[in-house]
Chains A and B, each alone.
Chain A
């Protein structure tokens, strides 16, 4: 494996990490299960591509605008969640994914099935970024995502979202503005997905409607479920592991969606909290190991 190839894999792992961490806010914290996350990803990628190709904006100018656009679209597409809940919300998000892809496919503004091509590499100091620099850019955006979402997980907002996810009526009676926090969750999650989309569009250089199909939403959700819903470590772990496995075992590539589907079934049946989620057997093991080490350390000090 050459360095350039490893960097490419690294960039894609970074993009999917951002996506999983963002889905974690919506599905892990607020418990609004979404199978349309690829639509938000796609909206980010398309708006970044259009801003770059048709308006001639640089990556650095397009990124903040993309974030704003995807957040606004998130608010709009989050509206069904106010009326529809649980399993029917999942159906609606699936529907949203199909509708968004159909819109990309249909309207000439989005390039139809030919997509948008010739998206330039971001430039810094007058020359395009190299592979390594792009990897560093991705990595720093991943760090930014993880950091801000960690901050979010320490705020009152996350508590409100979790309360709302557990029991809407109870949350309402405690004075939590449920619609507001649902829309927040959609907007924040969508904005992060916009960052991922922007990174994807400028790295691959082209966007096509089928890049953001429903299968991709399933892949993102199974990464999150595999790693552990409701925790950032689980989201990161799931994305990294499920993107890495096919790279090491080439023959797996053909079975990728089979594995994603199968994993989704098995994990939900036997380990609904994922491998590193709260209360999963691995995390329990790690925690007890840590506490034993800590107490041994205390004794040594004494």
Chain B
């Protein structure tokens, strides 16, 4: 069945959107910063994963955690090195510097690793499904299951731990949370760490899926992830995840129509502009 097969594609695409969007929406929820350079972290994750596969071990289960760790640390570095000094400035300033940083990061990857697409030679074994109706390769299965695991873990952190409580407090009123004894700096830094680690994971998974890593692989993701943030209603993790899956579904369905060749990315941006104009609180925003 073609529909079920498309659903699998949509689920895979939606998983990467969801992993990207979590970091963005948490950062926007607390700091009100549109963190475009998040997609730079996504690419970083893919490159770190590639580096480990080529030079340390070709086992995927070694590469993924290390890439996530490196991405997380890079995210904290971006916060402490850049955004930290801009928290009181108009919101446009962190946005512009974020775009500048993203462009600079892309160029850095190109200069260091070369402009070419590189294969992603990860070794792993995972279950797969193959019936006459439906084929789910082990790569697709891995992405879907891992994303589900990450989302469950995140749900647990947000709702069951002290850190999660601090998060919720900070996203409601960061000054008040600080006054109540929440270590705001640590909460925000951890926020960047986890969000960036998930973005790095998204990069590794996408590199694995497409079997290619290249400097501009984050270019469209960078802006498209914001389409998802906007649709999901700014700062709501659940809304973001749902919107990510929805956007992926719509894109896949439109992409499977043969007569419809208008670029999918442009459609996503059209949706963004119309949502901002007519539902400025987002599709799922209150």
Enumerate chain A interface residues (CB-CB to B < 8 A). Answer: 33, 35, 79-80, 83-84, 86-88, 90-92, 94-96, 98-99, 102-103, 105-106, 215, 218, 221-222, 225, 254-255, 257-258, 260-265, 268-269, 272
Contacts and interface: CB of A to CB of B under 8 A. Distances in A.
A213 to B, nearest CB: 10
Contacts of B270: 95, 99
Given A106-B263, A268-B97, A258 B107 contact: yes
Contacts of A254: 111
Contacts of B262: 102, 106
Given A79-B277, A90-B96, A272-B89, 7 more contacts: A94-B269, A95-B270, A106-B261, A254-B111, A264-B96, A268-B93, A268-B97
B176 interface: no
A250 to B, nearest CB: 16
Query: What are the 4 A-B residue pairs with the smallest beta carbon separation, nearest first?
Result: A264-B100, A261-B104, A261-B103, A95-B269
A66 B226 CA distance: 33
B212 to A, nearest CB: 20
B30 to A, nearest CB: 15
Contacts of A102: 262-263, 265-266
B82 A105 contact: no
Contact of A221 (B96, B265, B277): B96
A35 B222 CA distance: 14
B87 interface: no
Nearest to A215: B103
8 contacts: A83-B280, A90-B95, A96-B269, A99-B266, A218-B100, A221-B96, A225-B96, A261-B104
Contact of A265 (B82, B227, B276): B82
Given A95-B270, A102-B263, A264-B99, A80 B276 contact: yes
Contact of B95 (A87, A218, A222, A255): A87
B265 A98 contact: yes
A262 B99 contact: no
Contact of B86 (A91, A222, A269): A269
Contacts of B273: 80, 92, 95-96, 99
B92 interface: yes
A193 B93 CA distance: 24
Contact of B97 (A90, A98, A255, A269): A269
B100 A265 contact: yes
Nearest to A260: B103
Interface of B: 34, 82, 85-86, 89-93, 95-97, 99-108, 111, 223, 226-227, 230, 261-263, 265-266, 269-270, 272-273, 276-278, 280
Given A99-B270, A102-B262, A262 B100 contact: yes
Contacts of B97: 264-265, 268-269
Contacts of B86: 269
Contacts of B85: 269
Contacts of B269: 94-96, 98-99
A264 B93 CA distance: 10
A80 B270 CA distance: 11
A280 to B, nearest CB: 16
Nearest to A263: B100
A95 B270 CA distance: 7
Nearest to B89: A272
Interface centre among A88, A106, A215, A254 (most CB of B within 10 A): A88
A258 to B, nearest CB: 4
B92 A87 contact: yes
B115 to A, nearest CB: 10
A257 B223 contact: no
A254 B263 CA distance: 29
Contact of B92 (A33, A98, A255, A260): A33
A283 to B, nearest CB: 20
Nearest to A268: B97
A214 to B, nearest CB: 8
Given A33-B92, A268-B96, A87 B103 contact: no
A179 to B, nearest CB: 13
A269 B104 CA distance: 15
Contacts of A218: 99-100, 103
A202 to B, nearest CB: 28
Contacts of A222: 100
A181 to B, nearest CB: 19
B272 A92 contact: yes
Contacts of A92: 272-273, 276
Contacts of B261: 106
A87 B91 contact: yes
Nearest to A90: B95
Nearest to B277: A83
Contact of A91 (B102, B111, B226, B263): B226
A261 B100 contact: yes
Contact of B91 (A86, A215, A260): A86
A84 B90 CA distance: 16
A221 B103 CA distance: 13
A94 to B, nearest CB: 6
Contacts of A99: 266, 269-270, 273
Contacts of A86: 90-92
